[in-house]
A and B are shown apart, each in its own frame.
Chain A
Amino acid sequence: MTKLSRRGLLKASAATVTFAATGSFASMVAAQEIDELIVAYNVNLPSWDPTVGASAVNPTIQGLYQSVFDQYILQKPDLKPAPGLLTDWGWNEDYSQVWMDVREGVTWHDGSPFTAEDVAWSLARVADPATGSPIQFVWGTLENHRVEGNRVIADVKQFDPTIFKWMYFLTGYVLPKAYYEKVGPDGFEAAPIGTGPYMVEKYERNAYVRLKANENYWGGAPEFKTVTIKFVTDAAARVAEVESGNSHVTLEIPYEEFDRLKAGKLNGVTAPISDIGMIFFNDIDVMTDPNVRKAAVMAVDKQAIVDRLLSGYGVPIDTLETPEYDAYDPTIKTPYDPEGAKALLAKSGYSTDNPVKFTIQTTRGFKPKDYEMVQAIVGLWRRVGIEATIEVYEIAKHYELRAADQLAPAAFYNWGNSVGDPTTSTGFAMYGPSPHSVWDGQDLIDMINPLWGEKDEAKRIDGWKKVDRYIAENALVLPLLQYEQPIVFASGVKVTPHASGALLPALMTRG
């Protein structure tokens, strides 16, 4: 038998390391000249169909979908709608029909022409309960979809003032009728095509997707011809990815790391996105006492939380509407007033010596500093006479408890609303019968009820502002802050953030 000497072992080890190093360095991305843009993305992409299943309602995944598929209506980075595959849209005079004009000259990734038939079929498909779209309750308000020339018309079964907003929100994607019918759901999953700025070249589940620029894109070919999106779910690994040069762009990293990387060789941008942090109040136990609720709101110094916990990256909010939302009213204020909070609690017989007690639930690590924020809030509450016990749970448990109206008196959550309509923020979060609301007050339900079907848009938005004011005055919820999304990128690439939180390679340019 041949003896393995110490020197031989060392030689073999060195050779192995050198071999690996050579292979690795060769494939490392060059920061200066970017041929293939590599993005370290924070979530996996479980499924390619953007209209059905759990992925379809996951806001974080939408950026991936929007790279390949187009929505009916384009949404600009400031959340405002713009002509997309639909160039114009609206209701008829008596709101019994909707009409949509379809863009001409667009092709699918396989080269076949995009037509109005694709739009009509896509809408009818998700309106059919058998398809399994989680947003069927919206799409099902339209029926009898038909094509007249370049226009799609559908009858309104039940008026929904937000129907066109859903056309640039969750599941609002146009799929290829002929191709889908030819290959079926499994074939589409294996080789998805859309009309979007990028085409899927290669996809490895739980690993990466490699995209190739759609040179025929109706909005202009994207600047980076090849984009690889790696699914790197661990924040520390994403930091290492960009720091080492393995990836050019990443997002959703701790703010401290963002500041550190930005101070070095990398560039960074943060922008307020449509996600907010909030605390649900469930109208049970002590939360039925308005003095307790109002004191709980007044005792929280939101700016201090943003400054100290989020390194200043956040915008304190007083309602569930952010400044980009349609029903944002800057005159509604819920100022920080600890003395006022003490006085209110005293009226109900509570003090720092005899605090009011309840439980607050929160996730830990689901959103940046979620648990730490709740810890800080509990600390602030303690100073005025509120003793809250923190209960940590998983986000899945939160959803289940919320749907069953079994949340604790207070529960931290983050709400996303990338269309900025008040129905999908205040509406669904605070409307008693909604499975997402735990506030069941009839007065609020009565205020909201007429707004669901209000056809006068100005009157509708004004109505929601009144609802927001009522909620703020009665402290029915504790809005905390609007999140800012940190994006880090290498020199040689310029990133335009999108207020929806979607990181879109099509918005990345050389620079």
Chain B
Amino acid sequence: MTLIRRILLRLLTTAITLFGVAVIVFFVIRVVPGNPVAMMLPPGATDDDIARLKALYGLDKTIPEQFLIWLGGVLHGDFGTSITTRQPVLSLVLSRLPATIELSIMALVIAMIIGGALALTGTRKRGTKVEGTIDVTNGVALSVPDFLWGLVLILLFGVLWPIFHISGRISPSIDLPFSTNFYLFESVLRLRFDIWADLVSHMFMPSLALAIPLAAIIAQLLKQSLKETMHLDYVTLARTKGYDENHVITREALPNAVLPTLTLIGVQFTFLIGGTVIIERLFSYEGLGNMAIDAVINRDLPLIQGIVILFALIFTAVNLVVDLTYAALNPRLRNG
């Protein structure tokens, strides 16, 4: 199968997946108990009041009718209006998406640095106590969920040694001269390192909390791959040529061993974005995850739909990129 055909096929399956997600989400959130009108009913509301509020939010129609209206809007770029904020859903989710993407990318970078460092050290010190310590550390990192790491970090770096901000994305006292919501990227582009430092100070703990479990996974997989690669003939040849162990690991074994890890990182990135929901809440980080929790609590149906669709879109897009990258790198897949 050619690469172009593969891309077209994946785009088609992506569209079908998104439609399926939209259908399931739309119907499920309307079937589960708890509707937004019941939540905003004041004391003394009459049946007429309830009917009026339902009509106001379009909930007086049948679910299939509501779906068709919503779908028609989506096809025209209108994802509806949030019940709680009374703002267009699309602009709400797009305004929060950059914060979540930046947080996820920072977490990914931290995870790659920590995981990579642990894997290289474990390989270099294989068979020693250092490797054992790394294995135990990995086990602990994997067995503790990210929100607990968040609490530990808050205690350590927020309270006992208060060097990082506990909540928010940026200090309210800072006036942002930016034109996009990608604050971190834009602060670098505009050379505003004062703002960059403030952003990093806010993002560090949540991104580290997200990164720790992923770092452990990366470390385990990369170390295992490196170990296997270290026994291959071309590595042995490198050793016989007199290269030192650091060179053998980083220059000879690593380029081959890293491929499976890169594939895993792509897949794990989607889970990382999913993990932002709880972490953003814990750190009051103004991203999509935090907004998702509010939407669920308030049964803000249009906003829930918008966020889920966007998450689904991100997941499928990342998987698509990973697949295509893998196909591009793998000659057997590239050439059909």
Taking Cβ atoms with an 8 Å cutoff, the residues of A that contact B are 17, 19-25, 27-28, 36, 40, 44, 46-47, 49, 52-57, 129, 132, 134-138, 170, 185, 189, 202, 204-208, 210, 228, 230-234, 236-237, 240-241, 243-246, 393-397, 399-403, 423-424, 427-429, 433-436
Pick 5 A–B contacts, CB within 8 A, sort by A.
Answer: A19-B197, A244-B158, A394-B34, A424-B43, A436-B41
Taking Cβ atoms with an 8 Å cutoff, the residues of B that contact A are 33-36, 38-50, 52-53, 56, 82-87, 92, 95-96, 151, 154-155, 158-159, 162-173, 194, 197-198, 200-201, 204, 281-284, 286, 290-291, 293-294, 297-300
Assembled-state Cα–Cα distance A205/B87 (Å): 11
- Taking the nearest CB of chain B, how far is it from the CB of A44, in angstroms? 6
Assembled-state Cα–Cα distance A244/B169 (Å): 17
Please tell me if the beta carbons of A138 and B163 are within 8 angstroms of each other in the complex.
no
Please tell me if the beta carbons of B159 and A243 are within 8 angstroms of each other in the complex.
yes
Assembled-state Cα–Cα distance A154/B136 (Å): 75
Please tell me if the beta carbons of A36 and B164 are within 8 angstroms of each other in the complex.
no
Assembled-state Cα–Cα distance A46/B291 (Å): 10
Please tell me if the beta carbons of A185 and B86 are within 8 angstroms of each other in the complex.
yes
Please tell me if the beta carbons of A233 and B155 are within 8 angstroms of each other in the complex.
no
Please tell me if the beta carbons of B45 and A137 are within 8 angstroms of each other in the complex.
yes
Please tell me if the beta carbons of A240 and B43 are within 8 angstroms of each other in the complex.
no
Please tell me if the beta carbons of B43 and A202 are within 8 angstroms of each other in the complex.
no
Indicate whether A134 sits within 8 Å of B166 (C-beta atoms), given known contacts A20-B204, A46-B298, A204-B286.
Answer: no
How many A-B contacts at CB < 8 Å in the complex?
202
Assembled-state Cα–Cα distance A12/B168 (Å): 26
Indicate whether A137 sits within 8 Å of B286 (C-beta atoms), given known contacts A132-B56, A206-B96.
Answer: no
Instruction: Give the nearest-CB partner of B288 in chain A.
Output: A206
Assembled-state Cα–Cα distance A36/B173 (Å): 10
Q: A137-B48, A436-B44 are in contact. List 16 more A-B contacts (CB 8 A).
A: A20-B204, A24-B164, A53-B83, A57-B40, A134-B42, A137-B45, A205-B95, A206-B291, A234-B281, A243-B159, A244-B162, A245-B162, A399-B38, A428-B44, A434-B45, A436-B41
Please tell me if the beta carbons of A206 and B33 are within 8 angstroms of each other in the complex.
no
Please tell me if the beta carbons of B168 and A230 are within 8 angstroms of each other in the complex.
yes
Assembled-state Cα–Cα distance A20/B205 (Å): 11
Partner of B40, one of A44, A53, A244, A394: A53
Please tell me if the beta carbons of B45 and A134 are within 8 angstroms of each other in the complex.
yes
A54 surroundings in chain B (CB, below 8 A): 36, 39-40, 83-84, 298, 300
Indicate whether A436 sits within 8 Å of B154 (C-beta atoms), given known contacts A17-B163, A136-B52.
Answer: no
Partner of A47, one of B48, B85, B166, B297: B85
Q: Which of A21, A204, A237 neighbours the largest number of chain B CB atoms within 10 Å of its CB?
A: A237
Indicate whether A236 sits within 8 Å of B39 (C-beta atoms), given known contacts A244-B162, A246-B162, A401-B33.
Answer: no
Please tell me if the beta carbons of B159 and A244 are within 8 angstroms of each other in the complex.
yes
Partner of B45, one of A206, A207, A435: A435
Please tell me if the beta carbons of B86 and A52 are within 8 angstroms of each other in the complex.
yes
A231 surroundings in chain B (CB, below 8 A): 284
Please tell me if the beta carbons of B167 and A241 are within 8 angstroms of each other in the complex.
yes
Indicate whether A236 sits within 8 Å of B154 (C-beta atoms), given known contacts A20-B204, A137-B42.
Answer: yes
Partner of A237, one of B38, B194, B282: B282
Partner of B294, one of A44, A56, A137, A400: A44
A129 surroundings in chain B (CB, below 8 A): 52
- Taking the nearest CB of chain B, how far is it from the CB of A395, in angstroms? 8
Assembled-state Cα–Cα distance A166/B320 (Å): 56
Instruction: Give the nearest-CB partner of A202 in chain B.
Output: B172
Instruction: Give the nearest-CB partner of A400 in chain B.
Output: B38
Please tell me if the beta carbons of B41 and A403 are within 8 angstroms of each other in the complex.
yes
Please tell me if the beta carbons of A423 and B298 are within 8 angstroms of each other in the complex.
no
B290 surroundings in chain A (CB, below 8 A): 206, 233
